[in-house]
């Protein structure tokens, strides 16, 4: 199964005094791409939330290679870098016109009623899809 | 009773490509000032929320008179422009170094379980304080 | 000439503790829609900026009629409410699934080297297009 | 020389649907703390910018240990983790009521006219202060 990359058009209000996309916004673009990725797999944030599961971000790291700016179209591919029953690490590659501008990862756990929940047990279908993508 | 003005220090990430505070941020500064104003009266947003009451924004209008920029200290005074049992209109004056840069108003209602609630009935003490400030 | 409405998909990070789109974000959606509108007319912000003209926001007013939330698709139509050589007022109607959730206006002037510039003189072609849309 | 920690009061609009500070905002808090840290050393962003030097963020990593929420006062200490003439790595520790909620680092270079510039050569006084803090 091939997932399509996510596209973010850089907004005017996302750029700073240097005229470039403020670095904090990439963390938001990662979330947008992750949401889209889960939607493509059929397990949207909203569905998870409706079932009482949230997936907080445990950590992020982000390496800014080249700036982007207003009207740039950032193409973001999401890959699963690592999966355990309790944790997923996503890897992001962001390009503008084919040039990599940013690479990043984010680590997530899953909570139900404030307690860690196993993705494998709670969403076995999603977990098996993720494992396949990770292969 | 004299309430003290709220101060917002303009952040780097709040400025845009023109080098000035992005206009959308003033709507957030209004919220900050309103939160502080209610705290000074002893009725914080958090207390209201804990009691199950939310006060959504019905409308805002904002007139930008002069730009502000990174490191400017914006002093915001909040006044009650109008009160009815179901609605409050706040008026904001924002100054930098004594010069008025922005004037604005916001209108709020109060909801409990999704239904309009009378501030006068639900929070009589707050309502009477507000009336006094409005006098 | 018929312009197509702008679409904004509400992001997770745009929603607040009440679970709804934070009211300050609508001011940003207005900017996005305005940028798209000018692009459709062939006079993007970037082109104006490249020519040394900026169009600061003089004022906004925004009336929130119904909340929106994560994953809602907001359709925004932009109309010219009023034009003078020195000023444009845009009117916005935002709908979700056909229901109007927000109506707003924004007023803009045009500056070159920090001084007001006449849209009619500086961008006569754009001005005449705007007049036609305003008719 | 002892620098005082930076304080950020969490704003209503910084919290998300989970009721907690949205994770992207911590990247902004880091910037606020860094700006304050440089101000305390007498080398504000604004002074650097006025002299034509910008210090883009090369990378960030951020580990979220506990959530924070509306009205929390986050105390942020900034330390220099590593310095070379061309690069600084800052380390941040964020606490609420004495409990560490987030640890992070950011890496910065310095650019003048778009080209890397040595902090040691360009701002020798600042560089020597930073080395001392790093000792």
pLDDT score recorded for residue D26: 98
Nearest CB neighbour to B31, from listed D12, D28, D32: D12
pLDDT score recorded for residue C129: 85
Q: Using a CB-CB distance cutoff of 8 angstroms, which residues of chain A are in contact with residue C31? A: 11-13
pLDDT score recorded for residue B131: 83
Task: Give the CA diameter of chain C.
Answer: 47
Q: Which is higher by pLDDT, A121 or A68?
A: A68
Q: Using a CB-CB distance cutoff of 8 angstroms, which residues of chain C are in contact with residue B58? A: 63-64
Q: Worst-scoring range by mean pLDDT, A58-62, B109-113, D8-12?
A: B109-113
What confidence tier does A2 reach under pLDDT thresholds 50, 70, 90? confident
What confidence tier does B47 reach under pLDDT thresholds 50, 70, 90? confident
Question: Which of D35, D55, D61, D106 would best serve as a mutation to test chain A binding (most A beta carbons within 10 A)?
Answer: D61
The tokens of C3 are what?
């312009």
pLDDT score recorded for residue C1: 60
Share of chain B above pLDDT 70, in %: 98
Residue A115 contacts B, CB cutoff 8 Å:
no
Residue A89 contacts D, CB cutoff 8 Å:
no
Residue C84 contacts D, CB cutoff 8 Å:
no
Nearest CB neighbour to C13, from listed A13, A28, A44: A28
Nearest CB neighbour to A31, from listed C13, C28, C32: C13
Share of chain C above pLDDT 90, in %: 67
Question: Which residue in C has a C-alpha nearest to residue A28's C-alpha?
Answer: C13
User: Cβ contacts of residue A130 below 8 Å, gap of 6+?
Assistant: A41, A80, A83, A88, A119
pLDDT in tens, B9-42: 999 999 999 899 999 999 999 999 999 999 998 8
Share of chain D above pLDDT 90, in %: 68
The alpha carbon of residue B127 is apart from the nearest alpha carbon of chain C, in Å, by 23
DSSP one-letter code for B3: P
Using CB atoms within 10 A of its CB, is residue B110 exposed (0-12), middle (13-18) or buried (19+)?
A: buried
Under a CB-based contact definition with an 8 Å cutoff, are residues A100 and A110 in contact? no
pLDDT score recorded for residue D44: 82
Question: Which residue in B has a C-alpha nearest to residue C24's C-alpha?
Answer: B27
pLDDT of B107 above 80: yes
Nearest-angstrom CA–CA distance, D135 and D132: 5
Nearest-angstrom CA–CA distance, C55 and C60: 14
The alpha carbon of residue A11 is apart from the nearest alpha carbon of chain C, in Å, by 7
**Residue reference for tokens 């220099």:** D80
The tokens of A124 are what?
């076995």
Averaged pLDDT for residues D20-44:
95
Secondary structure tally for chain C: helices H, strands E:
4, 8
pLDDT in tens, C27-85: 999 999 999 999 998 888 788 888 888 889 999 999 999 999 999 999 999 999 998 88
Mean of the per-residue pLDDT values of chain A: 92
Tell me whether residues B12 and A17 touch, CB distance under 8 A: yes
User: Cβ contacts of residue D8 below 8 Å, gap of 6+?
Assistant: D29, D32, D33, D73, D74, D76
pLDDT score recorded for residue B135: 63
pLDDT of D126 above 90: no
Nearest-angstrom CA–CA distance, B93 and B134: 15
Q: Which is higher by pLDDT, B130 or B27?
A: B27
Under a CB-based contact definition with an 8 Å cutoff, are residues D15 and D70 in contact? yes
What confidence tier does D1 reach under pLDDT thresholds 50, 70, 90? low
pLDDT score recorded for residue D13: 97
Tell me whether residues C63 and B62 touch, CB distance under 8 A: no
Q: Using a CB-CB distance cutoff of 8 angstroms, which residues of chain C are in contact with residue B24? A: 24-25, 27-28, 31
pLDDT in tens, B51-94: 888 889 999 999 999 999 999 999 999 999 998 888 999 999 99
Averaged pLDDT for residues A123-127:
86
The tokens of A12 are what?
């005017």
Tell me whether residues A13 and B24 touch, CB distance under 8 A: yes
pLDDT in tens, A16-56: 998 999 999 999 999 999 999 999 988 887 888 888 888 89
ipTM entry:
0.93
Q: What proportions of chain B, in percent to the nearest 5, are helix, strand and coil?
A: 30, 40, 30
Tell me whether residues D23 and A49 touch, CB distance under 8 A: no
Q: Using a CB-CB distance cutoff of 8 angstroms, which residues of chain C are in contact with residue B49? A: 17
Nearest-angstrom CA–CA distance, B3 and B130: 12
């Amino acid at each position: 199964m091939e997932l399509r990359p996510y596209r973010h058009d850089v907004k005017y209000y996302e750029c700073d005094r240097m005229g470039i996309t403020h670095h904090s916004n990439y963390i938001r673009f990662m979330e947008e791409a992750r949401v889209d990725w889960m939607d493509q797999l059929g397990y949207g944030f909203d569905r998870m939330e409706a079932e009482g599961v949230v997936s907080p971000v445990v950590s992020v790291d982000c390496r800014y290679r080249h700036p982007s700016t207003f009207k740039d179209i950032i193409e973001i591919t999401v890959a699963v870098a690592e999966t355990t029953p309790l944790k997923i690490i996503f890897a992001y590659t962001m390009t503008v016109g084919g040039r990599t501008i940013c690479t990043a990862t984010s680590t997530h756990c899953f909570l139900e009623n404030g307690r860690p929940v196993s993705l494998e047990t709670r969403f076995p279908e999603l977990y098996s899809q993720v494992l396949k993508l990770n292969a």
